[in-house]
A and B are shown apart, each in its own frame.
Chain A
Amino acid sequence: MHSEGTARTGPGRVVVVGGGMVAHRFAEQLCARADAGDWHLTVIGEEPHLPYDRVHLSEVFDGRADADLALAPEPWADPRVDLVTGDPVVALDLAAQTVTTRAGRVEPYDALVLATGSRAWVPRTEGVDLPGVLCYRTLGDVTDLRSWVADRGSALGRPLRGAVVGGGVLGLEAAAALQKLGVAPTVVEFADRLMAVQLDAGGGEALRVLVTDLGLDVRTSAAATRVVAGDDGRVAGLDLSTGETLDADVVVYSTGIRPRDGLARAAGLVVAERGGVVVGPTCRTSDPAVWAIGECASFEGECAGLVAPGNAMADVVVDQLCGGVKGYSKAADGTKLKGVGVDAASFGDVLALTPGALEVTFADPVAKTYRKLVVSDDARVLLGGVFVGDIELYSSLRPMLGRPLGADPSAFLAPPGGAAPVQTDVPDDVVLCSCSNVSAGTVRAAVTEHGCTSVGEVKACTRAGTVCGSCVPLLTTVVNRTLEQAGIAVSSAMCEHFAMSRAELYALVRAERLRTFTEVVGAHGKGRGCAVCRPVVASILSSLGIGHVLQPDQAPLQDTNDHLLANLQKDGTYSVVPRMPGGEVTPERLLVLAEVARDFGLFTRVTGAQRIAMFGARQDQLPAIWRRLVDAGFESGQAYGKSLRAVKTCVGQAWCRFGVQDSASMAVRLELRYRGLRSPHKFKVGVSGCARECAEARGKDVGVIATEKGWNVYVGGNGGFTPRHADLLAEDLDDDRLVQVVDRFLALYVRSADRLQRTAPWVAAYPGGLEELRRVVVEDSLGIGAELDAEVERHVSGYVDEWRATLDDPEKLRRFTPYLNDPDAADPDLAYVPQRGQARPARPGEHGHHDLRVARTLEEAPL
């Protein structure tokens, strides 16, 4: 080993070559290791982007911005991490332990991790270098594809035709992408069926029928023999081995990938026969200071083509660098088609090549589904499965690979649609979650021995289901059955569209990095949603920093309050409640409020939460009102959101003769920190300057009360229907520690509370009670503190004032038009009557005036 100089106490200088998905995982895991000792990490990537989610690349064609593909940016904000983008490593010197980039940067390392991934491989065929022949692997490829299609489309002045060479999962994804660009694609596949590696003949045929229905043209048993140029030297067609020539204005090759092992090869590292840097279970290469992970690594002669094995390798190397002994082993993998709009998945011995293997097939030509199980000669042990059109069984059966099924195989397939799949008791030693390597027994123990009462808790406790998420349906079954057996009732269905609770859905969305309602409902629900689940999904996406409430694709999910950023009143108008941190307002700003209220005739009052609300604003008036408020320095008070309302406080030490801390300044700090944070229900905070408690902090979700030595923090208070005083969580904290404890408390609440569950019932029902909550939040017993901190930090750094952002965007302002065919018309049915110098909505039988400004000047009817 390299042991020159003084002994290190940690991994030292770590350099990662490659800034892809697995490099990101590595950085994330290293940052999360509290026991790592000293280290500094430099990640050097060739692509110009922040490391992004290649798996979901195709979503840029569903309207997702390129930048939204970026993987969680927290590691790059860590002071111990440097990220270099747009500068490939061109040389590796094993003796000097340095790497050199193209720009001339020389980076010495104590440990080097190669995570260079793979490249798209294109066979040598005449014409593949013509303009218009492209690959589908990187954001750069996507940009090229888009601009080629746009330019070609306008040059030719007609809809384009395209060809995709390769009918595997990625080829089909590329074909779907072409379709979304308005190009009619033909898929050319050398083998006799689509997804030839993963599907048998029956499955391939079923898939062909399904994708043809979607408008994809398919040629199987056909090779692309030549790309044909048109008169202008651009691609115009594709010759096939069948003699046919396809017209094609764009050709995408998706004929496989090859590991990027060039750097390693040149440096003299051992490289496998079929390519890839050779590693064993430790992921170390032939040089002990160099490791290789992800698609560039060859383990047992094979390079993985999926992200899960790469992530597992990243975890192994982090563990090894921190002195651990974790090893990598190949997990049973399966493949699932995505992004095409058709379901297909398989695992194990799909072709029944095992001697004596039996196949049980259920094909339904009407429903266009095909399902097959491969079992051992005695029909007992599961050897593989193929599912097309209906893949419900995929996730529950995949972990049973190599195991006794426990029931007749046909019983699994018999009910059309798989409505009630046979219940099998997964043996304890079966690995249920291959990503996190958690067995069914461990999951059961989480319920029976560690008191977990929901899938979400089991996930937090065991990490099962937190990576790719494909095991979650089975995990849910096992957890719920174990709960039932333990006599614990579980009904957590949110509505007819989602069978799980908000907390479970939150964990799934987070783990699977789902981005849109369509994805969420596609993966875990059914139908198109409703007024219950849509806002929940919107709130989850917003809490996770994925979908901002203002994003266009969020619009259908928001109830009217979040859609128009104001709270609906009984007559269809809205209230306007600007933020007023600490209940403070300068005379100048107060004047602005007064002028706005006067000019629009708004009913004005001081609310129960120390701020000023103005009522009666029409939908069409909201932008004009907020323009003036924003220009005067006000921002949204989120009185409409399931989010922080206000932080109530007292004057505190600044003025009060009893105050022992500056409660108002702390209140302002907390309000500016949590403003806009979307949560399962609204939450409120209070800060009092001493134990006299003038701010009624213990009636709030988070109550902070000053002491001689610092702050006491109380949680789970509530006014409202069931008042509850908050419980003491921690004592005598200094300012920063207070903020940290509140951060963690709120982040945990956001993660795990139910829909519309305030903190009071959530704290009351917390498994293990307040004691356990204190251990988790204050003592960080689960080791998730840093993760929770990061979640709040991401919120804080991503905060934008929703009203300012809306006013700056003409597209968003369109939603404030009440009557599309008459944009200047206001609601003709509004009516107001005067009341104590202002105006309120007329009651039935009262005769009112439609204009608030006029109504307040009318003579008031005698009481």
Chain B
Amino acid sequence: MTSDVVADEVRVCRLDDLLPERGAGALVGEHRIAVFRLADDRLLAVQQRDPYSGANVLSRGIVGDVDGAATVTSPMFKQVWDLATGACLDAVGKEPVDLRTYPVRLVGDEVRVAVTP
């Protein structure tokens, strides 16, 4: 990646603001982002909008794993996505729709999300 990614990085919160194994929302410009902190403090971010209901709720889904890959399940209709890749792993009988992912990292105790247009 080039350095303009770093330039677009936005601080969203401190690590302590996030509960392990849960998500939280962040608003970065036009982007509604769901940021997740895993048990091992790994950070992952995907779009907040649930493509199936259109509601901004994915940060409120349950975190878990499918064959070891970290996942989130939509609280609305229970579709499951791979948090790292955004791939839809269980579309609950619908057409699979993947999620956009966002690079996220910890700098000191700051959680930063990188947004490229």
List chain A positions with a Cβ less than 8 A from chain B. 496-497, 527-531, 533-535, 552, 555-561, 563-564, 568, 570-572, 619, 814-815, 817-822, 825, 827-829, 844
Alpha-carbon distance A819/B19, docked complex (angstroms): 14
A572 and B27 contacting across the interface, CB-CB below 8 Å: no
With both chains docked as a complex, state the minimum distance between the C-beta of A814 and any C-beta of chain B, in angstroms.
7
Task: List the B side residues contacting A817 at CB < 8 Å.
Answer: 24
Beta-carbon contact of A572 and B10 below 8 Å: no
In the complex, the chain A residue whose C-beta lies closest to that of B70 is: A528
Task: Pick the residue among A534, A821, A827 that contacts B56 (CB under 8 A).
Answer: A827
- Asked if residues B61 and A829 are in contact (CB atoms below 8 Å), the reply is no
Docked-complex contact B21 and A568, CB < 8 angstroms: no
- Bound-state Cα–Cα, A392 to B116, Å: 48
Q: Does B62 contact A (CB under 8 A)?
A: yes
> Given the complex, which residues of B lie within 8 Å of A821, measured CB to CB?
10-13, 26-28
Stretch of B1-9, B72-80, B97-105 contacting A (4+ beta carbons < 8 Å): B72-80
Q: A563–B28 Cα gap in the complex (Å)?
A: 25
Which residue of the partner chain, among B13, B39, B57, contacts A572 with CB atoms under 8 Å?
Answer: B57
Bound Cα distance A530, B73 (Å)? 8
The reply on B109 being an interface residue by CB < 8 A is: no
Contact yes or no, A819 B20, CB < 8 A: no
List 16 A–B pairs whose Cβ atoms lie within 8 Å, in order of A's numbering.
A527-B64, A527-B68, A528-B64, A530-B80, A531-B62, A555-B19, A556-B21, A557-B62, A560-B61, A560-B75, A563-B22, A572-B76, A619-B60, A820-B12, A820-B26, A828-B32
Contact between B63 and A556, CB atoms less than 8 A apart: yes
Query: Would you call B35 an interface residue if the criterion is a C-beta within 8 Å of the partner chain's C-beta atoms?
Result: yes
Q: Which residues of A contact B107 (CB under 8 A)?
A: none
Identify which of A533, A559, A814, A818 gathers the most chain B CB atoms within 10 Å of its CB: A818
Classify chain B's interface size. Answer: 35 or more
Q: For residue A815, which residues in chain B have a CB less than 8 angstroms away from its CB?
A: 19, 22
Question: Are B25 and A531 touching (Cβ within 8 A)?
Answer: no
Question: Interface residues, chain B, CB within 8 Å of chain A?
Answer: 10-13, 17-22, 24-28, 32, 35, 39, 49, 53-57, 60-68, 70-71, 73, 75-76, 78, 80
Write the chain A residue with the least CB distance to B62. Answer: A531
Check A820 against B35 for contact (C-beta < 8 Å). yes
User: Known contacts A530-B66, A571-B55, A825-B27; is A559 also within 8 Å of B17 by CB?
Assistant: no
* Bound: A527/B73 CA distance, A: 15
Q: How far is the CA of A552 from the CA of B24 in the complex (A)?
A: 15
Q: Which of B26, B27, B53, B67 is within 8 Å of A496, CB to CB?
A: B67
- Cα–Cα distance between A819 and B66 once the two chains are bound (Å): 27
A271–chain B nearest beta-carbon distance, Å: 49
Are B27 and A528 closer than 8 Å at their CB atoms?
Answer: no
Contact partners of A531 in chain B: CB under 8 A = 61-62, 64, 73, 78, 80
Besides A572-B55, A815-B22, A820-B35, 6 more A-B contacts (Cβ < 8 Å) are A527-B68, A530-B80, A531-B61, A555-B22, A559-B75, A560-B75
Q: How far is the CB of B41 from chain A (nearest CB, A)?
A: 13
Measured between beta carbons, the chain B residues less than 8 angstroms from A556 are 19-22, 62-63
Query: In the complex, what distance in Å separates the CA atom of A815 from the CA atom of B73?
Result: 18
In the assembled complex, the Cα of A488 lies from the Cα of B16 at a distance in Å of: 51
Would you call A829 and B13 a contact (CB within 8 A)? Answer: no
Chain B residues near A557 (CB, 8 Å)?
Answer: 62
In the complex, what residues of A have CB within 8 A of residue B18's CB?
820
Chain A residues with Cβ below 8 Å from B22 are 555-556, 563, 815
User: In this complex, what residue of A is CB-closest to B55?
Assistant: A572
User: Judging by beta carbons under 8 Å apart, are A820 and B24 in contact?
Assistant: yes
Contact partners of A563 in chain B: CB under 8 A: 22, 60
- Top 4 closest pairs, chain A to chain B, by CB: A556-B21, A530-B64, A531-B73, A572-B55
| Complex alpha-carbon distance, A181 and B12, angstroms | 29
Known: A571-B55, A572-B55. A530 touches B25 (CB 8 A): no
Asked if A822 and B56 make an inter-chain contact with CB atoms under 8 angstroms apart, the answer reads no
Question: A258 CB to closest chain B CB, in angstroms?
Answer: 40
Chain A residue with the shortest CB-CB distance to B19? A555
Q: Are A814 and B65 in contact (CB under 8 A)?
A: no
Q: Which residue of A has the minimal Cβ distance to B17?
A: A820
Closest to B12 in A: A821
Chain B residues contacting A820 (CB-CB under 8 Å) are 12-13, 17-18, 24-26, 35
Contact B12 A564 (CB under 8 A): no
A529 adjacent to B57 (CB under 8 Å): no
- For residue B112, give the distance in angstroms from its CB to the closest CB of chain A: 10
The answer to whether B65 and A530 touch across the interface, beta carbons within 8 angstroms, is yes
Q: CB distance A559 to B62 under 8 Å?
A: yes
* Min C-beta distance of B45 to chain A, whole Å: 12
